[in-house]
Structure 1
Amino acid sequence: MARITASVYTSHVPAIGVALDQGKTQEPYWQPLFAGYEYSKQWMKDNTPDVVFLVYNDHATNFSLELIPTFALGCAAEFPIADEGWGPRPLPTVQGHPELAAHIAQSVIQQDFDLTLCNAMKVDHGLTVPLSLMCDNPPMPGGAWPFKVIPFHVNVVQYPVPSGARCFALGQAIRRAVESFDQDLNVQIWGTGGMSHQLQGARAGLINKAWDNAFLDRLIADPAGLAQVPHIEYVREAGSEGIELVMWLIARGAMADVAGGPAPTLKHRFFHVPASNTAVGHLILENN
């Protein structure tokens, strides 16, 4: 059967992609951030999965305030790179896994989670920046990502947004779906977005290092308790865009210990401030 072997958590700040694409990774401002992912890139080479189930939020690329699903599953065979206003990033098209995506859709919907199924999607920085951080940018033209990707969008832009508890339970449903797939696949699940940041209003530029690191502590050791944190705490402590962190709970809910298995192994932890007025957090957890 397919199995989830690890979960990866990372911020998806758009300026990180720009720095990568413009060759700025060794500039003094950016070098400390990219140094924090050197271990991760080697870990990815040593632990390359067949498929990554990548949880992120669309940034008005496919969905606008006219139509925004709470949960949207990418079921296509490929996902083109979006033009977010300055041209598409120079990256390979993301290859999907329609068979596993269709199975996850069937299983998760039968577990009473309503999903929007997308047979055509473009992917923006919410998905491409994590890929670039973990894999480097494949050479273009002719390059390819080293695994297939199932994009999974979560609405964390327009209220009402899903609760942490709902996201955590959805992660558990996704694990059950993956484990009931009858192909032998190595699957990783990634949660992206956050950490503390606010892009507008009187608190624009807010970063809360203490709260962010406490979140990382609890995500590792007490995910079920963390899942009970209400929206208002995210907004108060981590800023209006800090609510993106509920997406990390989907990935954490899919880990084996949540279903009674052994605790995961922490392979890497990194935290850095600032990156374009945002706190960057990153974890790698391996199932045992």
Structure 2
Amino acid sequence: MAKIVGIMTTSHVPALGKAIAKNLQSDPYWKPFFDGFPPIHEWLEKVKPDVVVSCYNDHGLNFFLDKLPTFAIGTAPEYVSEDEGWGIPPQPSFPGAEDLSWHLRDNLVRDEFDVVSCQEMLVDHSFTLPMALLWPHQKWPVKSIPVAINTTLFPMPSPRRCFKLGEAIGRAIASYPEDLKVLVIGSGGLSHQLEGQRAGHINKPFDERFMDSMLNDPQWATQFSDVDLVEQVGNEGVELVNWLAARATVPGRVKLVHASYHIPISNTAAATMLMEPI
């Protein structure tokens, strides 16, 4: 049976892509964030996952306000990145895990999640940057399944609903008959707001409580509504529901392999966690 071997959560600040392209990982501004990844690279080399399921949020590359699903899943043979205007070079295409993605899609629909199936799908920095952070050579040794969550247009799915989505994804993975090692990614956050009167808003106490909850109380953030979450972590900080969905794929306890938290990276509380099921 397929098995989740790890959960990796990380910020996806677009400027990170530009820093990677310019080889600025050792620059004093960027180094504290990039220094969080060598332990994760060592873990990847040891565990060697076969498939990545990435919970992320699209920023207008694949969906826009005129057509924005609450949840969407990629069922394509490959996923392509394009120029987003951030100075991030397009990355090599990502091979899809078609059989597993259709299995996930079917099981999610039967679990009463009305997901949009995407047999063609562009992926933006929310999907591509975690992959580049995990595999800096950008030669992907895994197949991928993108799961897009709306964090842009109100009403957004509540943290509780996103947690339930993650639980359903976890059940679907566990029921897949092929022996595959699956890494689940939650992409985004943590607290930040990029516009308006609260531009630059960072809530470090909330971020630290949320990161602790990933280990010790994974449903803690489900007490908040989408509006409550904006108040706590900012308009863009609501991306942490991607972390919540990823964490929910493992029903039991997890062990922390590595974590880092750095303020700020481009007005964002930039954080990373790697967890293993116990």
Same fold (TM over 0.5): yes
- The range that moved more, 68-77 or 221-230, is 221-230
- The range that moved more, 223-232 or 40-49, is 223-232
Distance 1:174 1:131 in 2: 20
- Residue of structure 1 in register with 2:258 after alignment: 268
Alignment of 1:101-180 (within 5 A): 101-138=101-138, 144-180=139-175
Distance 1:3 1:60 in 2: 32
Which segments of 5 or more consecutive residues in structure 2 lack a partner in the other structure?
A: none
Alignment check: 8 A CA contact 1:105 1:115 kept: yes
Superposed displacement of residue 132, structure 1 = 1.2
Alignment check: 8 A CA contact 1:266 1:284 kept: yes
- The range that moved more, 10-19 or 218-227, is 218-227
Alignment check: 8 A CA contact 2:56 2:149 kept: yes
- Residue of structure 2 in register with 1:141 after alignment: none
Alignment check: 8 A CA contact 2:14 2:88 kept: no
Match of 2:242 among 247, 250, 261: 247
- Residue of structure 2 in register with 1:23 after alignment: 23
The number of equivalent residue pairs is 278
- Residue of structure 1 in register with 2:11 after alignment: 11
Alignment of 1:196-235 (within 5 A): 196-235=191-230
Give the residue type in structure 2 aligned to 1:154.
Answer: I
Give the residue type in structure 1 aligned to 2:58.
Answer: D
Match of 1:277 among 245, 252, 267: 267
Alignment check: 8 A CA contact 1:95 1:149 kept: yes
Superposed displacement of residue 65, structure 1 = 0.7
RMSD: 1.3
Distance 1:132 1:120 in 2: 21
Alignment check: 8 A CA contact 1:72 1:154 kept: yes
Q: Residues 56-96 of structure 1, C-alpha deviation per residue, up to 9 Å, x if partnerless?
A: 01110011111000111010010111210267625221111
Q: Residues 233-267 of structure 1, C-alpha deviation per residue, up to 9 Å, x if partnerless?
A: 3212211111111111111111130xxxxx21111
Give the % identical residues. 42
- Residue of structure 1 in register with 2:66 after alignment: 66
Distance 2:198 2:134 in 1: 31
Distance 2:245 2:204 in 1: 22
Q: Residues 204-256 of structure 1, C-alpha deviation per residue, up to 9 Å, x if partnerless?
A: 01111111111101121111232222223321221111111111111111113
- The range that moved more, 231-240 or 247-256, is 231-240
Q: Residues 149-178 of structure 1, C-alpha deviation per residue, up to 9 Å, x if partnerless?
A: 101111001111101111111111111111
Distance 1:136 1:12 in 2: 14
Q: Residues 83-118 of structure 1, C-alpha deviation per residue, up to 9 Å, x if partnerless?
A: 102676252211110100001111110011110000
Give the residue type in structure 1 aligned to 2:10.
Answer: T
Using structure 2 for the length normalisation, give the TM-score: 0.97
Distance 2:119 2:19 in 1: 31
Alignment check: 8 A CA contact 2:104 2:169 kept: yes
Superposed displacement of residue 42, structure 1 = 1.7
Q: Residues 134-157 of structure 1, C-alpha deviation per residue, up to 9 Å, x if partnerless?
A: 22132xxxxx20111101111001
- The range that moved more, 37-46 or 56-65, is 37-46
Alignment pair present for 1:40 and 2:58? no
- The range that moved more, 247-256 or 55-64, is 247-256
Superposed displacement of residue 124, structure 1 = 0.8
